Amino acid sequence: MPIQIILEKCTGCTLCIKACPFDAIRMMDKLESSGLASSSQSQKKAVIDLNKCNLCGACVPVCKLKAILLETEKASCILPDIKGYKGVWVFVEQKNGKVQSVAYELLGKAQELARKLNCQVSGVLIGNNMDDQLDELIWRGADNIYLVEAAELANFQDEPYTNILVKLVQKYKPEIFLCGATAIGRSLISRVAINIKAGLTADCTGLDIDPDKKILLQTRPAFGGNIMATIISPNYRPQMATVRHKVMQPMEPDKRRKGKIIKENFGPNIYASRTKLIDIVEEIESLVNIAEADIIVSGGRGMVGAENFKILEELAHVIGAAVGASRAAVDSGWMPYSHQVGQTGRTVAPKIYIACGISGQIQHLVGMQSSKIIVAINKDPDAPIFKVATYGVVGDLFQIVPALSKKFKETLRK
Ligand SMILES: Cc1cc2nc3c(=O)[nH]c(=O)nc-3n(C[C@H](O)[C@H](O)[C@H](O)COP(=O)(O)OP(=O)(O)OC[C@H]3O[C@@H](n4cnc5c(N)ncnc54)[C@H](O)[C@@H]3O)c2cc1C
């Protein structure tokens, strides 16, 4: 048992119940908890519900009688040898033979991390006939490219891609492995992590290197976005993280950069898959791909109703923007989910983000605060959105937005 109560020591003081954040401990009669037949002496003892307990250990130090035994990771397993792991790797996602921009963003970040670790950056590219994409990867940060090509690998498939990445990690032992938090990336890298018994921090918004310990600091919103948690993975390698599209900045291409191509072939058995790719269907969502837009006009609860989004659509039409929305607007059914910006929607980083009637809660901000220019229109001068805004307009959006459309129409016509 990973955690247990020593019934002989427990006095039923209930301190552990108060300390447990998961409501996993309760008091029971000693006889009930030990499964023994009844006796005249009945005393309450703590009992842990293992279905609720996540072994966080919060109950252990509060027990003054040392009646709770938690088997720590160090005691229960031998930690793997992490010596010899070196280099920062990036999974290079491709679709239809074209490298996706999230890979360039990750290579840019990987270069920054590698400089602090004094090591190299490698891209891992799986596909078919990818030669025309290799230079750009090197110009944008890859020192090496591990290239695995075959007709069977032209399109992403979970099992073959996972098997290849596992083999590559086992052979070359990277210290850090980054992947885009895209539909493909999320599906793939979690499978890789479980196979190589490494940890994985999903949806990081910040990555850095601890200057003393030289380990990866992986920052991401936690507890519904109310805090930013920095997560470390000191005992396992590689340290693995996913990062959403548009969170990191790509490097400017440097055509003088030189890199090494390392071709790998693991034989036909690696292509085996329990699933079969039948067809690739263009996403309808891509029609409103706010993640790629240069300008976004977004509306929140302050829009009051679905019909009012037409004033945002008009402004968007005039200035060539896409329309985004806060979760409050999406949850109210005023806009489809594909337009939602934020922690549980899209992460965007346009040149201009115009937030109309959006208060600026942290879950919204994490999805748009990398925008170059943020314009906030809100009638509440204390709205948190103004803290991140480049330009703030305090006022009624129903007057300001139509006035902006009118002015832009006049100006752009000239
Ligand atoms: C786990 C989790 C995930 C979440 N994910 C997301 C997410 O992905 N995206 C997201 O957006 N939210 C997300 N949220 C919700 C988030 O916490 C906020 O509730 C939400 O962002 C609020 O939306 P809002 O700013 O439109 O509404 P409100 O907070 O209600 O703000 C409305 C604003 O409109 C202003 N206003 C009203 N009328 C006018 C007017 N006429 N003119 C000008 N201003 C006006 C008000 O002053 C106010 O500031 C998430 C929450 C949780 C717990």
Q: Which ligand 1 atom is at minimum distance from the Cα of 326?
A: 11
Compute the distance from residue 387 Cα to the ligand 1 centre, in Å: 15
Compute the distance from residue 249 Cα to the ligand 1 centre, in Å: 27
Task: Divide the 414 residues of the chain into consecutive groups of 10 and give the mean pLDDT of each group.
Answer: 89 93 87 47 82 89 93 61 93 96 97 98 98 97 98 96 98 98 95 95 95 95 80 95 90 97 95 91 61 93 97 95 96 93 91 98 92 97 97 98 96 78
Q: Given this model, what pLDDT does residue 284 score?
A: 53
Compute the distance from residue 308 Cα to the ligand 1 centre, in Å: 16
Write out the CATH class of domain 3-76.
alpha beta
Q: Whose CA is nearest to atom 51 of ligand 1?
A: 363
Q: Is 354 exposed, middle or buried (0-12, 13-18, 19+ CB in 10 A)?
A: buried
Q: What number does CATH give the domain 286-413?
A: 3.40.50.1220
Compute the distance from residue 362 Cα to the ligand 1 centre, in Å: 9
Q: Is 401 exposed, middle or buried (0-12, 13-18, 19+ CB in 10 A)?
A: buried
Name the nearest CA neighbour of 88 among 47, 125, 124, 122: 122
Q: Given this model, what pLDDT does residue 222 score?
A: 82
Q: Given this model, what pLDDT does residue 224 score?
A: 64
Q: Whose CA is nearest to atom 49 of ligand 1?
A: 359
Amino acid at 291: A
Give the model confidence (pLDDT) of 255-277 as tens digits. Answer: 999 999 999 999 999 999 999 98
Q: Which ligand 1 atom is at minimum distance from the Cα of 377?
A: 43
DSSP letter, residue 307: G
Q: Can you give the C-alpha Rg of the chain in angstroms?
A: 26
Q: Which residue has the tokens 């920062």?
A: 88
Q: Given this model, what pLDDT does residue 38 score?
A: 40
Q: C-alpha distances in angstroms, 17 versus 14, 43, 48, 111, 137? A: 5, 16, 9, 47, 54
Q: Residue 267, by phi and psi: left (phi above 0), alpha (psi -120 to 50) or beta?
A: left
Please say whether the beta carbons of 178 and 110 come within 8 A: yes
Q: Whose CA is nearest to atom 41 of ligand 1?
A: 396
Per CATH, 88-271 and 286-413 having the same topology is answered yes
CATH architecture of structural domain 88-271: 3-Layer(aba) Sandwich (3.40)
Phi/psi at 95 (5° precision): -130, 130
Q: Given this model, what pLDDT does residue 31 score?
A: 56
Where does ligand 1 bind, in terms of residues with CB under 6 Å?
Answer: 224-225, 300-302, 326-329, 340-345, 357-359, 361, 363-364, 367, 377-380, 383, 396-398
Q: Given this model, what pLDDT does residue 291 score?
A: 82
Is cis: bond before 238, omega within 30 of 0? Answer: yes
Name the nearest CA neighbour of 286 among 243, 346, 242: 346
By most ligand atoms within 8 Å of CB, the mutation choice from 364, 377, 404 for ligand 1 is 364
Q: Which ligand 1 atom is at minimum distance from the Cα of 299?
A: 26
Compute the distance from residue 381 Cα to the ligand 1 centre, in Å: 15
Q: Which ligand 1 atom is at minimum distance from the Cα of 359?
A: 49
Compute the distance from residue 343 Cα to the ligand 1 centre, in Å: 12
Give the model confidence (pLDDT) of 346-388 as tens digits. Answer: 889 999 999 999 999 999 999 999 899 999 999 999 999 999 9
In the chain, what are the domain boundaries? 3-76, 88-271, 286-413
Compute the distance from residue 357 Cα to the ligand 1 centre, in Å: 8
